[in-house]
Amino acid sequence: MESQAALYNINEKRYSELKENVKKAGFSDQKTTHIKTAITTFGFKCAQAWGLVEGYTTEDDKIKALGLLKDNIIDPENKQKDIIDKFTFSDGKKKATELLANLTKCKTQGDAPDKFPALDLPYTSKWSDADLDHLIKEINGASFSDKKIEVAQKAIMASASGFTSAQASKLYNAFTFSKDILALTDIIHERLMGVTCEQITELLKKFSFQDQKLEILKAFKKSILDVENKFNILNAFDFSNTKEEARKILDDLRPKSYLFGVPSGKVVFVIDLSGSMSCNFKVSTGQSFTRLDFVKQELAKTLCGFDESIEFNVLPYADKVIQWKTGLQKATKQNIQEAVQYVNQFKANGGTNAYDGLAAAYNTPGVETIYFLTDGAPSVGAKTKPADIVNDVKKWHQTRAVKINSIAFLMGNFSADNKPLSRAFMKDLADATGGVYRSLESDQ
Domain boundaries, the chain: 8-99, 129-251, 266-441
> With 60 as the cut, is the pLDDT of residue 4 above it?
no
Mean pLDDT in residue range 175-198: 88
pLDDT value of position 314? 98
Nearest residue to 88 via CA among 68, 48, 60: 60
Mean pLDDT in residue range 391-399: 96
CB-based burial, 371-410: b 16+ in 10 Å, e otherwise: bbbbbbbbbbbebbebeebbebbeebbeeeebbbbbbbbb
CA separation for the pair 259, 78 (Å, rounded):
43
> With 50 as the cut, is the pLDDT of residue 3 above it?
no
- How many other CB atoms sit within 10 Å of the CB of residue 328? 19
Mean pLDDT in residue range 314-325: 97
Higher pLDDT, 420 or 27: 420
Nearest residue to 289 via CA among 157, 440, 128: 440
Mean pLDDT in residue range 197-205: 89
Mean pLDDT in residue range 35-62: 94
Name the CATH topology of 266-441. Rossmann fold (3.40.50)
The tally of CA atoms less than 13 A away on the side-chain side of residue 71 is: 10
pLDDT value of position 391? 97
353 alpha carbon, distance to own chain's centre: 29
Higher pLDDT, 411 or 109: 411
CA separation for the pair 168, 170 (Å, rounded):
5
| Average pLDDT for the chain | 92
Q: pLDDT tens across 117-133, in order? A: 777 888 889 999 999 99
Q: Which residues pair with 405 in a beta bridge?
A: 371
pLDDT value of position 25? 84
> With 80 as the cut, is the pLDDT of residue 154 above it?
yes
Any idea which of 366-375, 384-393, 435-444 has the lowest mean pLDDT? 435-444
Q: Grade residue 1 by pLDDT with cuts at 50, 70 and 90.
A: very low
Alpha helices in 54-117 (DSSP H): 59-69, 79-82, 90-99
Q: Which residues pair with 441 in a beta bridge?
A: 410
Mean pLDDT in residue range 132-153: 95
Higher pLDDT, 221 or 59: 59
Rg (CA), the chain: 24
Q: Grade residue 228 by pLDDT with cuts at 50, 70 and 90.
A: confident
Mean pLDDT in residue range 135-145: 94
pLDDT value of position 97? 97
Q: pLDDT tens across 273-303, in order? A: 999 999 999 988 888 999 999 999 999 989 9
Name the CA dihedral angle for 16, 17, 18, 24, rounded to a multiple of 10 degrees.
100
Close Cβ partners of 404 (under 8 Å, ≥ 6 residues apart) = 358, 369, 370, 372, 393, 429, 430, 432, 433, 435
CA separation for the pair 77, 57 (Å, rounded):
26
pLDDT value of position 5? 60
Mean pLDDT in residue range 227-232: 83
